[in-house]
Structure 1
Amino acid sequence: MPRGQAKVKGGDQCDASALLNLINYCKCFCSVDPKLVRQVIQCRNELMHSCEFRVKDDWMRHYRTALKHFVQQLSSVHHMAAVGKQIEQMLTVELSICVFGVDRLDSAGALAGLDPDSVSEQETSAELVSQWEAELLQEVLQECLHAANEEDEEATTHDTEQLKKLQGFLQANKDLCERFATELQAIGSLEVKGEEDD
């Protein structure tokens, strides 16, 4: 297992990225088409390395198809039929967020006869949404920084480009610039190191 995961002994101790890499590289999974695994990995990376975490409908359809075919490759595993259904349900769930007193639900038509502001289950504070966004951004920054420090030149180039985009995004937002000052400093150190290596 890469990136310090050598002590991990079970799938329940891994994140999705680690499991996908294990399936991709481990010979125990030779019955799984590596192209399908790489498609799912590519989709996951495209989303996680996107500064805005936005995808288009075409991208979502491609991801759904790739994931469905990948799960079918593992159909001999006892629980995979149930997992496939869970994934399908997750991909079709309505993920609109309503900030009470500010936003209206995008899917107001799905709640016929209900005032969106009265649906307490759909209400989320702006602070909580901001916290989620910051946590996701933190995770992406750490992953990109870690990958940029790896020796894989091809991966480093890709991650360095992603870091430059993230750096511009953070610097354009004063609050994020302050919150992620340490990460911005690390990105700056990488740039200096890259210039010295050239």
Structure 2
Amino acid sequence: MVLEELSARLNEVGYKNWLKAGYCLLKVKDGLYGYLDAEMRHFHSSVIRNNDTLRRGRMCTSHCRPKGNQLQSVCPLCNEWKTEILRHHTNAMAVVNWGNCRPWLWSSEHWELAKAYMPRGLANVTRADQCDAAALLNLLNFCDHFSSINPQLVREVIRCRNELMHSCEMRVSTSWMEQYQRSVEQLLLQLRHVPEVAAAGRQIQEMLLVDLSVLVPGVDCVDGDQMEGAEHEFISQWETELLREFLQDVLNNAEEGKTLTPEGMEKLKNMQQFLQDHQDLKEQFRTELQCLLSVEERLPQNTGEETMS
């Protein structure tokens, strides 16, 4: 039954493209996190070395922490770190998600520093490999330690990622995929000297050439040849990972506001319907589906101009 359900989904070209695009993001993450972890260690050490106050090696004893997404009343040491974070931010007008951070650890934990340059929702993340592609790409974009990497290429992949995650129907066109592939490849070329990035680039190119069709014994074949080099369990695994990220994006946006835009509400409803229409996913994401239903019950429809953050 599970294989038949997966086969039916993969017979839809737009959804198959959406899955492939999501796989590319997973590979981007795999290629980047080790490199970024090492670079942020260097950055952290450099900030300390070049700041007289931080070079003294003191630690925060006040256990300073943000209130919501604001960081105002902090000790002099944490305030010095805050100044350094802003000084190395590539966009002085951007919102810094202080709620990601545990300021009292800035002196000792390089990844706590990294999270100040990332999207919201990462307060419980402590390591580079726990971050998704969006978080890592934002770090590349907003921390000037990575200014040698063409920021336009980074922002283009971020834009594509957002379009993918905000796709209400979870489908993308073949023409969109062609542009997306070019954008990802151009970015990864900037870091081709990093072995993990180079490997990710090769895996992406290989996957984009594969037909993800799955043949089910006793069931009519789907369009195209049976895929080579990957089993249906492998496809199902990354489908699950991508859907979980998509679900989390829906829930984060819904839970942070009292209303949703019409587009946001459509995305929430479509996700509910999608899970309910596929028995294997309905069982697998039972808890998340209940959360979606609960969110819809308490959120009023929004017809104004308010947008999701």
TM-score clears 0.5 = yes
| 1:166 counterpart residue number | 268
Alpha-carbon distance in structure 2 between the residues aligned to 1:144 and 1:166: 6
Residues 149/31 of structure 1: CA separation in 2 closer, same or farther (3 Å cut): farther
Per-residue displacement from partner, 1:54-99 (whole Å, max 9, x unpaired)? 2211111101100011112223435433332222222222211223
User: Contact conserved, 1:100 with 1:123, CA < 8 A, in 2?
Assistant: no
Indicate yes or no: 2:201 matched with 1:99. no
How many matched pairs? 177
| 1:190 counterpart residue number | 299
Indicate yes or no: 2:31 matched with 1:31. no
Residues 19/103 of structure 1: CA separation in 2 closer, same or farther (3 Å cut): farther
Match of 2:250 among 116, 134, 144: 144
Shift of 1:10: 4.2
Residues 182/35 of structure 1: CA separation in 2 closer, same or farther (3 Å cut): same
User: Contact conserved, 2:213 with 2:224, CA < 8 A, in 1?
Assistant: yes
Q: Secondary structure at the match of 2:300?
A: helix
Q: Secondary structure at the match of 1:107?
A: coil
Alpha-carbon distance in structure 2 between the residues aligned to 1:10 and 1:190: 34
Q: Secondary structure at the match of 1:191?
A: coil
- TM-score normalised by structure 1 residue count: 0.66
Q: How does 1:13-162 map to 2 (within 5 A)?
A: 13-108=130-225, 136-150=242-256, 161-162=263-264
The percent of aligned pairs where both chains have the same amino acid is 45
Show structure 1 runs of 5+ residues with no match: 112-118
Alpha-carbon distance in structure 1 between the residues aligned to 2:271 and 2:129: 34
Residues 175/107 of structure 1: CA separation in 2 closer, same or farther (3 Å cut): closer
- TM-score normalised by structure 2 residue count: 0.46
Per-residue displacement from partner, 1:26-47 (whole Å, max 9, x unpaired)? 2221112222112112222222
* Superposition RMSD in Å: 3.9
Alpha-carbon distance in structure 1 between the residues aligned to 2:180 and 2:146: 21
User: Contact conserved, 1:98 with 1:122, CA < 8 A, in 2?
Assistant: no
Alpha-carbon distance in structure 2 between the residues aligned to 1:82 and 1:134: 23
Shift of 1:149: 4.1
Q: Secondary structure at the match of 2:299?
A: helix
Alpha-carbon distance in structure 2 between the residues aligned to 1:23 and 1:82: 19
Residues 80/141 of structure 1: CA separation in 2 closer, same or farther (3 Å cut): closer
User: Contact conserved, 2:169 with 2:267, CA < 8 A, in 1?
Assistant: no
Residues 189/95 of structure 1: CA separation in 2 closer, same or farther (3 Å cut): same
Q: Secondary structure at the match of 2:163?
A: helix
User: Contact conserved, 1:99 with 1:123, CA < 8 A, in 2?
Assistant: no
Letter matched to residue 166 of structure 1: L
Alpha-carbon distance in structure 1 between the residues aligned to 2:242 and 2:186: 27
Further displaced range: 52-61 or 97-106: 97-106
- Rg larger for: 2
Letter matched to residue 23 of structure 1: L
Residues 32/134 of structure 1: CA separation in 2 closer, same or farther (3 Å cut): closer
User: Contact conserved, 1:24 with 1:37, CA < 8 A, in 2?
Assistant: yes
| 1:114 counterpart residue number | none
Task: Kindly indicate whether structure 1 or structure 2 has the higher relative contact order, using CA contacts under 8 Å at least 6 residues apart.
Answer: 2
Richer in helix (by share): 1
